[in-house]
Structure 1
């Protein structure tokens, strides 16, 4: 029996991670977004074209820019960054997925990026934009015929974790923010809202279609989900897909137990749950080089003795393993 299980696992691994492509291709595209300006998207995918080192933003990546895609029936992972990020915020995870035979597509969430925070609290915009990304990848992307439309997953961090929870069927209650901040005025979220002059006692007008799930998404990875306390058991009862959930044990930005633990406790189906010892909130972002560390020390600084590079090797491997298992 042990031998049979091992052989079966080996066969599934071969199926889920084809070995036809040796490199990663990359392209940036603009996609339509209704009456608003186009969304910017980064796409990583398997290719056999030669790869060289390119620089995007604050990162360098070895990719083949605008190369031909290799393979067929490839699973798709759509990615949602945290507040103030952009599509490249989790480039190392996207690279790991593409090396494993996935297509990874990440959207810069208009109104909640490093250069545009004008609509950061209009949280309902994010799931709509993620849904638009799936639409584009399946119907408009030039590599759409290489995709398996039945194997789609989603990855999200912080505000992106909130976004992916909604895409998986979660329905938040944003009116929970007011009592939360009355009880915890010292928490980072509440301090930020106070500084921004947000009156939490005012009713929030949320569009009717804001919290609709995307049934095309079959599995999700969620790291440090923002606003976890706004869902509750009733708000998460519609999440039926497999979930891999991550918490940084020393997260000072999203203090325990109001975020990940609130999600963990209320999901109808127990997630695969990882608590990362000694990690802080921003340790889910890729390791920083010296220049970015000087520019954004708050995002780049890890706690004493925490090896962000070593953690990301394990983190990315676990993300790939989970999606291989759940999207086979």
Structure 2
């Protein structure tokens, strides 16, 4: 693994830093975005954490399909403002942060790479060392000036990212179930079924249904309108024991609540839920934005009339903070 670039942007008491990691085992780049409470300087590390940083736990975040961690900066800033180091993992092949030439829609269903990305990042952060490269000193440098309990992780994700962190808590996938569901009339409004052709391709390219993505460092999960409910076995969800907060939109414009977020909330024994039922859509959990991009015909930045994305973030944020501090 190696680091090729570090970029830091100050945001009042919270700073944002981007690190480029590389997983030699999989020959796969993994860019991460970190939000954290910062102090002005330190002598022995790349990232200078403030004295009030919470060291007993940290947050990791997984973005939705074809997205990027920085598209959810409201989440990173919110947790960092409360003292939590928050690490957004950008999944190669999906995320635009690697450049549009590296974006491949089929990667959205090469799902098994996502949880492995996160476990790899946790391994690096747990070592607290940036490995030496041609562009860095011969002696590995400490990443943080303070030691964080990287075995006490709050895993947060939206859409495919929500499904990602749930697999790390023990959920199991059965893509054949998704194909069966997507062939029914009940799935007509489910935009995730449009990925089915890529799903079929993914099944022939390295997916091992017996592969276990469980990572014991994940101690709780927050899933924002999680995807892949139609491909997740009830038995695996019923066996989950860690606390889970499911946040979802019942009047969904992308993932029908009953088959995705609602299914997770009803099936996981230790799940609590926050439901938005006033017309909030699937992409209301992204940062406020002004571009015209769409996913399967649904606008990422434009909400239904009467929906205030900032108010949704405030309500969801309060629920998330209560969940992790409770």
Q: CA, structure 1 residues 145+315, in 2 after alignment: closer, same or farther (shift >3 Å)?
A: same
Aligned to 2:59: 77
1:30 aligns with 2:20: yes
Aligned to 1:14: none
Structure 1 unpaired stretches of 5+: 1-21, 51-65
Q: Secondary structure at the match of 2:299?
A: helix
Q: CA, structure 1 residues 211+199, in 2 after alignment: closer, same or farther (shift >3 Å)?
A: same
Normalised by the size of structure 2, how large is the TM-score? 0.79
Q: CA, structure 1 residues 49+295, in 2 after alignment: closer, same or farther (shift >3 Å)?
A: farther
Q: In 1, are the aligned partners of 2:280 and 2:303 still within 8 Å (CA)?
A: yes
2:116 to 128, 149, 152: 128
1:33-182 map, 5 Å: 33=23, 34-49=25-40, 68-71=48-51, 73-114=55-96, 115=100, 116-117=103-104, 118-141=106-129, 142-143=143-144, 145-182=146-183
- Provide, for residues 59-110 of structure 1, a one-character-per-residue CA deviation record: whole Å limited to 9, x for no partner: xxxxxxx762113625210000000101212111100100001000011111
- Provide, for residues 211-238 of structure 1, a one-character-per-residue CA deviation record: whole Å limited to 9, x for no partner: 3311111111001111112223212134
Deviation at 1:122, TM superposition (A): 1.0
Deviation at 1:121, TM superposition (A): 1.1
Give RMSD over aligned pairs.
2.5
Q: In 1, are the aligned partners of 2:179 and 2:196 still within 8 Å (CA)?
A: no
Aligned to 1:189: 192
Deviation at 1:150, TM superposition (A): 4.5
Normalised by the size of structure 1, how large is the TM-score? 0.79
Whole-Å separation in 2 of the counterparts to 1:201 and 1:80: 20
Whole-Å separation in 1 of the counterparts to 2:20 and 2:201: 35
Aligned residues, how many?
283
Aligned to 1:229: 230
Whole-Å separation in 2 of the counterparts to 1:145 and 1:229: 42
Structure 2 unpaired stretches of 5+: 1-11, 130-142
Q: CA, structure 1 residues 193+174, in 2 after alignment: closer, same or farther (shift >3 Å)?
A: closer
